[in-house]
Each structure stands twice: as C-alpha cells, then as structure tokens.
Amino acid sequence: MLSLVSQLIRAYQTIEVISYVRNPNHRPILYHELASSHNYRQRYWSRSYLGWPKMSESQPNATHDILKKLVDHGYIQNIITQNVDSLHTKAGTPNQNLLELHGTLYKVECMDCGDTSADRNLYQHRIHARNPSWKAMIGKGKVNPDGDVELPQGASYDEFDIPPCLHCGSQKMKPKVVFFGENIKHPVTDQAEKFIRDSSAVLVIGSSLATYSSYRLLRLAHQLHKPIGIVTKGPTRADNLMQWKGEVGCSPVLTMVYKNLIGVNN
C-alpha cells in the first residue's frame, strides 16, 4: 500500500485529493428548507450560533498538515476537498492550490443578492448583538461536525433575529456551503474540472464519493485516462474506475509516504 501511494506520487507528481469526513448520524439540511422558510433559517442560525465557538476552534490534523507539505514540495499540485471546515486553509494550503467544492462555513452568503463576502466570525458578533440572551446557552448542547447544535430543552428560536445582508438588507442568509438539493455554482465546477484536466493522476483520500459532484470528477478523470488511486476504508462509488485501492486509514499511510519522500526533518 505504502509503496503504491509513493509510486503514484513519484510517478505523476500532480495529484488531486478529495477528502471528506462523513457524519452518518446527522440528518443533512436540505436547501429548499433553508431557501423557503424564515423560521427554518431562524432554526439554522440559532443552532449555528451556539455551535460556532466550538466549530471555529477546530484545528488541522496530521493529514491536513502532510498534504500541505506535499503541495509545498510539489508532489501534490492541487487539492479538491468536499469538507466545509476550511481546515486545509488553516493548515496553510495556498488558496491557488485548493478548491472547496462544497464551500466553507467561514463565509456567509445572501440568497437574495448573492453576496458571499461576509465573514462568519464577524457574523457571529452581529448575531450576538441582536440576540444577547442566547449567549448563556453556548456550550450546553452537543455540537455536530457541521457546527449544528441540539438546542437545550425549552429553547425557542421563533424570536431569533437573523442579521441582514450588509449589501441588500435581506435576512435570507445562509452559510456559503452547498446544501443537499443545491447546485454547485459553475465557476466552482469549472475550476474543479480544470484541476482534474491539469493533473497527471488523481488520489482520493478518505471519501466514499457518495455525492455526485465528486463522483463525476472521478468519472472525468477516468475518461481522460488519468491513473486513479483510492485510500479509503469501505466501498466507494468509483471502485470500478480506479487502478488501485487501499482500504486503510489515510493518516498513517500519508505519514509513511511523507517520511519516504521528504524525510522526517522537513
């Protein structure tokens, strides 16, 4: 397994990585719910407000750090991630080498005027200013990996005041992430396809490729005759497209690959 990954990285040097943290116990938010109901957005933002302090504390793990160093050393050209936690950015991966296919929780988007520039940390302060009594509930509920929190018993979000868009005044705000039922915007899909076309090989790390948006990129790579490797526990949707696969955890494999390619002191 180790030598296969090393060989792939050595042989082709330009590799895409698609990683994804699955969360099987948490019901996904549906785009049409968020788009069609102010009350649902109140629910979303109240829970997100409570979860943000914990969510925003999360730090990159060994995999993020190693991938960043493999980019620095030219072994990996670009990273495509399905995660919305911006941990590749926190690890220092340069923006030009990173595509967040499903967006990021660190930006807020207006569903009316389309502005996506609002910073989530600043938005947290604006939420607090409009809903000061909610601060006492921070830290009381379980935080899901997408930042969502179960509300404490008795808490009602019916009066929750959503800070409006600073450009158009609309309260139709959402995080800049792609929800189930929402289409990825064309500039993003175009960039993802460009990364695949520019690559010499594709390495999938920690993803079952269950979403069509990632599977179709692997299908494109296959059509373009790019070698495909997969390091993921369990079956993936692209198992019939790959050249080889290791059903192992990605962190120990990447640690060994990194030591082989670069050494321990870099």
Query: How many residues belong to the site for Zn ion (CB under 5 A)?
Result: 8
Residue 250 among known ligand-binding residues: no
Ordered DSSP codes for 80-147: EE--SS-HHHHTT--GGGEEETTEEEEEEEETTT----EEHHHHHHHHHHH-GGGGGGTTSSPBPTTS
Phi-psi region of 263 (alpha: psi -120 to 50; beta: other; left: phi over 0): left
113 assigned ligand-binding residue = yes
User: Which are the contacts of 209, defined by CB distance < 8 A and separation ≥ 6?
Assistant: 18, 215, 218, 236, 237, 238
Q: Choose, by CB under 5 A, the member of 101, 110, 149, 238 that binds Zn ion.
A: 110
Identify residues 200-259 at the interface with Zn ion (CB under 5 A).
none
**Choices 67-75, 169-177, 190-198, 256-264 (CB under 5 A): range interacting with Zn ion:** 169-177
Minimal distance in Å, beta carbon 45 to Zn ion?
15
Instruction: Tell me if 78 sits within 8 A of 198, measured CB to CB.
Output: yes
DSSP 8-state secondary structure symbol assigned to residue 29: P
The β-bridge relationship of strands 118-119 and 103-110 is antiparallel
Query: CB of 152 within 8 A of CB of 51?
Result: no
Q: How far is the CB of 111 from Zn ion (least distance, A)?
A: 8
Three-class SS state of 262: coil
Of 89, 113, 114, 116, nearest to 100 (Cα)? Answer: 89
Q: Of 102, 167, 186, 222, which residue is the catalytic one?
A: 102
Compare residues 33 and 112 and give the one whose CB is closer to Zn ion: 112
Q: Determine the angle formed by the axes of helices 212-223 and 186-198, rounding to 10 degrees.
A: 40
Q: Does 167 bind Zn ion (CB under 5 A)?
A: yes
Nearer to Zn ion among residue 87 and residue 108 (C-beta): 108
225 annotated active-site: no
Binding to Zn ion by residue 135, rule CB under 5 A? no
Judged by CB under 5 A, which of 11, 122, 129, 168 binds Zn ion?
Answer: 168
Minimal distance, residue 174 CB to Zn ion, in Å:
11
Rule CB under 5 A: say whether 117 interacts with Zn ion: no
Stretches 97-105, 160-168, 194-202, 228-236: which one binds Zn ion (CB under 5 A)? 160-168
Taking the least distance from each CB to Zn ion, the nearer of 31 and 244 is 31
Quote the CA–CA distance of 180 and 59 in Å, as a whole number: 25
Annotated binding site: 110, 113, 165, 168
Annotated binding site for Zn(2+): 110, 113, 165, 168
Residues that bind Zn ion (CB under 5 A): 110, 112-113, 115, 165, 167-168, 170
Catalytic residues: 102
